[in-house]
Amino acid sequence: MSVTKTYEEINRKLKEGTAVVLTAEEVSEMAKECSPAEIAEKVDVVTTATFGAMCSSGAVINFGHANPPIRMEKIRLNKVPAYEGLAAVDTYVGATAVSEENPKYGGAHVIQDLIEGKDIELEAWGKGTDCYPRKHIKTIINKDTVNEMYLFNPRNAYQNYNVAVNTTDEIKYTYMGTLLPKLKNANYSTAGELSPLLNDPEMRTIGIGTRIFLGGTEGFVTWQGTQFHTTKEKNELGVPVTNAATIAVIGNLKAMSSEFISAAYYEKYGTSLFVGIGVPIPVLDEDIAKRVSIRNEQIETTILDYGSAGTPSLGRTNYAELQSGSIKINGQKVRTAPVASLQKARKIANILKEKLQAGEFEVTKPVQMFPTGTSLNSLKEVEEEN
Amino acid sequence: MKTVKKRFVLNFPPQSGDKPLSYRLVKEFDISINILKAEVKPGKTGTLLLELEGTKENLKKGIAYLEENQVQCQPLKKKITFKQEQCINCGNCTGVCFTGALKMDRSNWELKFKPEKCVVCELCVPACPLNLFTIDFN
C-alpha cells in the first residue's frame, strides 16, 4: 500500500517540528538512491524557488486623499506613468513603465525604491469635479505615507523557458540579455530542478490560494498566470519542453525586501523586475514524490534564435548541460550563461525550508485548481472594411 | 629571472605621439608588450590597454620611464569599478565576457570577477541589468 498524506497531516507535523523538509535540489540528490515510494514515506515537503526577471509584475497603491481631494486622471511616480483609471487615488504601477526623462528608470525602480523606504515624487492631474475639485497635486510619498501597497504580478514563475541565442552578424539586446553574434553565447533563465512549476508539472498542489514566499515575505497564488498554456509539448516525464504554465501572485509590498525584489534595466529593451518566489510542495503521494525528484538532465528546453524572425528552434538541450557552461548547437560548442540567479533561488528555497521546519509557514490546499487543456490565442489583425 | 604579467591602462598626452615609447620599453627594459586595446587619436590623447611582462624590477623602471614622459599608467584594476555588494548573481554579464574575467562559480552560483583577465571590451557595462560596472578607459 503506497503512502498518502493529507495537507492537515503535513501541517500538524510542521507545527510539531517533526516534518521532513528538503529543497528540490536535495530531494533530487536523494532520488539517486531512493525510490519515489521511499521518498513519499520519508519526505513531507519539498521547497522550490526561482529568482528571475519577470516583466509582468507591478504594484497596486492607494495614496490616501488630499484636502481638497483630487480624482487622479494622470499619475506620475518619479516621472514614471502609473495607471489612471482606478478610482480617485488608487493606481497600478507596472514594472516595465518607464520615466519620461530617464528610460533606464521604470516602474520596477519605483517598486524597489518604495520597498527600501525611499521618498517618491507623486504628481497627478485631474479635470476637477464637484466632489473632487482639485486639479493638480505634487507631493512626496513613501511606504509609510500610503495606505495599501501590494505587489500583484499577472504572470510570474514560468514553467520552463527557452534558451536564447543569436545566429546573425549583429549583437541583439533582448530581455534574455545581450546575445552575441554568430552563436557566441546561449542564455537561459530557469532554475532547472529547483524551479517551482517544474516540480509539480500537472499543478496538483499549486492552485488558487497557495501560500508562497514572495519577495521576502508571505504571498499567495491568486490565479493562473496570463499566457497559461498547459498543452505544450511535453517530454516522456510529462515536463513541458518550452515555456508553458505561469502563476499570478500577490503579496504585501510593505513587508518585502529588496534582497528578493530587484529592479532591472536591459539595454535597448527596457525595465523589468527580478522577483523572488518560493513554493512549498507537499509530498502527498508517490506521484508527487516522483515529480519533485526530477533532475536537471531530465528537464529539457528549446533553443530559439532570437536574431531571426519568428524565433526558429535550433534544437533542444537540458538544464544539466546548460549549467555545465556550454551546450552543442548544430555541432558547435556554445558558452552558456544564466540570466536568473540560482544563488538567490537556493537562498529562498532554504529560507522557506527553515520557516516550514520552524512551524512558521504551512502548506495550503488550493481553494480551486487551475484549468486544464488550455492553449493561447494569438493577436489577429483585422482588416478595416471600406 | 622570474617575470610577472600585469595589465595597465596608459593615457598618452597629445604631444607624445612622436616618441617610440613602446619600443624603448622593449629595448631598454626588456618588457614584452601585448596591446589589448588601443584608442589613438592623432594630435589628441590616446589610451592603450597593455599587458606588460617582465621582471618586477624592469616593470617598475619601465613604468617610471613612461611617467617621466607624461604618460599616465594605472593598473587596469583601478579603472574598473564593480559594485559587488549589490550584485544579485544573475549571470547576465558572464554571457558577454569572452575572456573569462566574469564567470559563475558553479558550486555556489556566485559571480567571480577576475579583473586581471579583462580586456576592456566593455560589453558587461550594458549587459548588467543593475548597471553595476563602470569602466574608465578614456
Q: Give B74-104 pLDDT, tens digit per residue.
A: 999 888 999 999 999 999 999 999 999 999 9
How many other CB atoms sit within 10 Å of the CB of residue A266?
23
CA within 13 Å, CB half, A310:
3
When pLDDT is cut at 50, 70 and 90, the band that residue B12 belongs to is confident
Tell me the nearest-neighbour CA distance from A104 into chain B, angstroms: 10
Chain B interface test: which of A339, A346, A348, A350 (most B C-beta within 10 Å): A339
Enumerate the H helices of B46-123 as residue ranges. Answer: 56-68, 92-96
Tell me the nearest-neighbour CA distance from B98 into chain A, angstroms: 9
Establish, for the pair of chains A and B, how many residue pairs have beta carbons separated by less than 8 Å: 80
In this prediction, residue A1 carries a pLDDT of: 59
Domain ranges of chain A: 7-54+156-357, 64-146
Torsion of CA A341, A344, A350, A351, to 10 degrees: -150
Catalytic status, residue A131: yes
In this predicted structure, the answer to whether residue B1 has a pLDDT above a threshold of 80 is no
Q: Give A83-114 pLDDT, tens digit per residue.
A: 999 999 999 999 999 999 999 999 999 999 99
Give the domains, in start order, of chain B with CATH numbers. Answer: 4-78 (3.30.70.260), 79-135 (3.30.70.20)
d(CA A193, CA B27): 58
In this prediction, residue A386 carries a pLDDT of: 64
Is the Cβ of B104 closer than 8 Å to some Cβ of chain A?
yes
Angle at B30 (CA atoms; ends B24, B31), nearest 5 degrees: 80
Q: Name every chain A residue with its beta carbon within 8 A of the beta carbon of B91.
A: 337-341
In this predicted structure, the answer to whether residue B16 has a pLDDT above a threshold of 70 is no
Cell of A266: 536591459
Please indicate whether, in this complex, the C-beta atoms of A337 and B92 are within 8 angstroms of each other. yes
Instruction: Of A150, A157, A285, give the one whose Cα is nearest residue A223.
Output: A157
Nearest to A344 among B89, B94, B131 (CB): B89
In this prediction, residue A3 carries a pLDDT of: 92
In this prediction, residue A167 carries a pLDDT of: 97
In this predicted structure, the answer to whether residue B41 has a pLDDT above a threshold of 80 is no
When pLDDT is cut at 50, 70 and 90, the band that residue B136 belongs to is confident
Q: How would DSSP label each residue in A172-190?
A: EEETTEEE-TTT--EEE--
- Those residues of chain A whose CB sits closer than 8 Å to some CB in chain B are 51-53, 104, 173, 177-180, 184-185, 187, 262-267, 272, 274, 323-325, 335-344, 346
Tell me the nearest-neighbour CA distance from B101 into chain A, angstroms: 14
Counting as low any pLDDT under 50, the low residues of chain A are: none
- Report the chain B residue with the minimal C-alpha distance to residue A181: B96
ipTM over the 0.90 cut-off: yes
